[in-house]
Structure 1
Amino acid sequence: MKWFKSESAAAWYFMLPGLLLISIFVFWPIIYGIPLSFTNYSVISETHNVGFANFAEAFRDRDFIISLLNSLTYVIVVPFIQIASILLAILVNRRLPGVKLFRTAYYIPVVTSMVAVALIWSWLLGNNGVVNYLLMKGGLISEQVSWLSDSRTALYVLMFITMWKGLGYYMMLYLAGLQGIPSDLYEAAKVDGAGSLRLIWSITIPLLRPHILFCSLISLMGAIRVFDEVYILTKGGPGTATLTSSLYIFQKGLEQFNFGYASALGLIVSVIIGALSIGVFVFNRKGGVNPY
């Protein structure tokens, strides 16, 4: 009876509503999706157990392979967004005039609806948009570029938009980490003659390792599962140039109602995310501030 009145029990009581929602909308679909991936389940036909046929079909599916490669290409965003976020966090961690306004300005895209972001960027990147106008005025291009309609540029433009939108979020996480690093370490290093770059490389980066691990993990998973930007701005086009794994799974499951095959594709993507996440864990297994 004592446990039910303890602080641990109180913590579980507060977490219970959230855990219940997660169990219903996250854990149960995952558990149900595993056996579903071994069937040909569809709302328009009879369900049969097909064994590993869905997985074999997935590796013969040209569009799925392309979507997977596009999603893995999207991972290129991860190191760039982490480096940029750390540098921004270091900048806004200083006592500068207007630094609070600067933090707010970089966080606004994080809380802005993806629909609004898509409308803004589609206007900026249109044939007669601001980007083409400025580049032509600067002599960098000689004719208008269809940034989102050209298969050579569309995917990289989407990657840039993803990076722009998430920059403020990771900046705030790293800022919280920076404020937990004791200032004595920097002062001692400065006395020994360390410059700004040495302080960042030898103190800031090692002590931010736990934050780098967390941010890299969620950024990695977000890059592979990217959906909103692609669906709103290009719908996977032109052709399959911006077709990502999440969008392809959505098309198979919710547009073509082939839920068994979509579950198998989702399981394959989950295994890939798990393998890459283990790599991130191994790379960032040491570091952080020692409280003792």
Structure 2
Amino acid sequence: MSKAVSAADRSEARKASDRPEPMNTKHKGTRDIATTAAPYLFVLPAFVIVFVFVVLAALNTFRLAFTDSRLLIPGKFVGFKNFITLFHDEYFLTALFNSSLYVVCVVPCMVILPLILAYLVRGNSKIMGFFRTAFYMPVVMSAVVVGMIWTNLLDSAGLVNSVFKALKIITKPIPFLTDRWGVLFSSMFVTIWLGLGYYMVIYLTALANIDESLYEAASLDGAGPVRQFISVTIPGVRSTMMLIMMLSTIAAFRVFNEVYVLTNGSAGPGGMDMTMSMLIKREGTGIQARTGYASAISLVVLVIVGALLIIQQIVQKRGED
């Protein structure tokens, strides 16, 4: 009997030793809180920066748009006076027209040309890698460097006019940088040149997701490269095309660097090449800055770009249906 009891005691002792010790609930709770809070602590600095310099700045711009404030004068509430003045301002109407024309001319090129370029250089050979690098090079170039290059190329005594004269194509220089339309369309060309490589890379990612068997099937059906591009490539990257259309629309309507650098900050002859971003800069900076008026222009730009994006979303959904 005593042996049986001692065996049972040893069994219970062995089970007790195998049972895990209870955790300290206080330490466990502290560790759970630290684990949960760690990701938020990592993003906290970025969140603070975005909140101060984006959210608060946007709210302050909205507030200033309804005041007559200047650089060092807080100003007072004037309601919609700034917006009424805008549509009687010749510079604003000119800037609105130029920015709208920029969107109409640049966005289709930004959607189609990089796609064709990506389709042509999508191979994995070394020569294709060289061409991809060459086409992407303008994206990483400084705006000042780009401006200097194209100013020298398009000047009345620049390389382009010199070559045309040597070939007897022209008798007098083309006013790329001295005519209103010459400056505007030259700026559009530079914008397209700068954006081709950037959007080409986005398209290359989309093209990599298209099943190669679709091209093989199209080839067996007798489709040539052009037909394959229209019937396989374009449907395969339709969503990417809409994304690029949105990005290029925003960039085109807010264009600043190209026009500013090519005109040396003068906005062309008589300021006739003024864009919306340049007008905001002119009105919102300097000793006589009209910050309230500039904020109203910024708000109009926000509304117009937002409306364009909504229209594009509606068109995309209808196309998918």
TM over 0.5: yes
Contact 2:110/2:244 (CA < 8 Å) preserved in 1? no
Contact 1:92/1:102 (CA < 8 Å) preserved in 2? yes
Give the structure 2 partner of residue 259 of structure 1. Answer: 291
SS at match of 2:181: coil
For 1:168-179, list aligned pairs within 5 A: 168-179=197-208
Q: Which moved more, 1:19-28 or 1:29-38?
A: 19-28
| Total equivalences in the alignment | 286
Distance 1:125-1:27 versus aligned 2 partners, 3 A rule: same
Distance 1:278-1:12 versus aligned 2 partners, 3 A rule: farther
Distance 1:15-1:214 versus aligned 2 partners, 3 A rule: farther
Gaps of 5+ in 2: 1-28
SS at match of 2:308: helix
For 1:119-138, list aligned pairs within 5 A: 119-138=148-167
Gaps of 5+ in 1: none
Structure 2 letter corresponding to 1:253: G
Contact 2:207/2:233 (CA < 8 Å) preserved in 1? yes
Report the CA distance between 1:286 and its aligned residue. Answer: 7.5
Report the CA distance between 1:257 and its aligned residue. Answer: 1.4
Which of the residues 204, 209, 225 maps onto 2:254?
A: 225
Report the CA distance between 1:11 and its aligned residue. Answer: 6.5
Which of the residues 158, 171, 186 maps onto 2:187?
A: 158
Distance 1:10-1:200 versus aligned 2 partners, 3 A rule: farther
Distance 1:203-1:226 versus aligned 2 partners, 3 A rule: same
Give the structure 1 partner of residue 68 of structure 2. Answer: 40
Which of the residues 221, 225, 245 maps onto 1:192?
A: 221
Q: Which has the larger radius of gyration?
A: 2
Matched residues in 2 for 1:25 and 1:60: separation? 32
Contact 1:217/1:280 (CA < 8 Å) preserved in 2? yes
Matched residues in 2 for 1:79 and 1:276: separation? 14
Matched, 1:239 2:270: yes
Structure 2 letter corresponding to 1:225: R
Give the structure 1 partner of residue 235 of structure 2. Answer: 206
Report the CA distance between 1:34 and its aligned residue. Answer: 0.9
Distance 1:48-1:116 versus aligned 2 partners, 3 A rule: same
Give the structure 2 partner of residue 52 of structure 1. Answer: 80
Distance 1:130-1:19 versus aligned 2 partners, 3 A rule: same
Give the structure 2 partner of residue 69 of structure 1. Answer: 97
Matched residues in 1 for 2:171 and 2:162: separation? 10
Matched residues in 1 for 2:155 and 2:90: separation? 30
Report the CA distance between 1:95 and its aligned residue. Answer: 4.3
Structure 2 letter corresponding to 1:190: S
Give the structure 1 partner of residue 18 of structure 2. Answer: none
Matched residues in 2 for 1:217 and 1:46: separation? 36
Matched residues in 2 for 1:13 and 1:159: separation? 44
Matched residues in 1 for 2:205 and 2:34: separation? 34
Which of the residues 259, 273, 276 maps onto 2:308?
A: 276
TM-score by length of 1: 0.90
Q: Which moved more, 1:222-231 or 1:19-28?
A: 19-28
Which of the residues 30, 51, 58 maps onto 1:30?
A: 58
Percent identity, please.
Answer: 40
Contact 1:71/1:225 (CA < 8 Å) preserved in 2? yes
Structure 1 letter corresponding to 2:307: A
Structure 2 letter corresponding to 1:22: V
Report the CA distance between 1:137 and its aligned residue. Answer: 2.0
TM-score by length of 2: 0.83
Distance 1:219-1:12 versus aligned 2 partners, 3 A rule: farther
Q: Give the structure with the larger helix fraction.
A: 2
Give the structure 1 partner of residue 107 of structure 2. Answer: 78
Give the structure 1 partner of residue 4 of structure 2. Answer: none
Q: Which moved more, 1:18-27 or 1:203-212?
A: 18-27
Structure 1 letter corresponding to 2:175: S
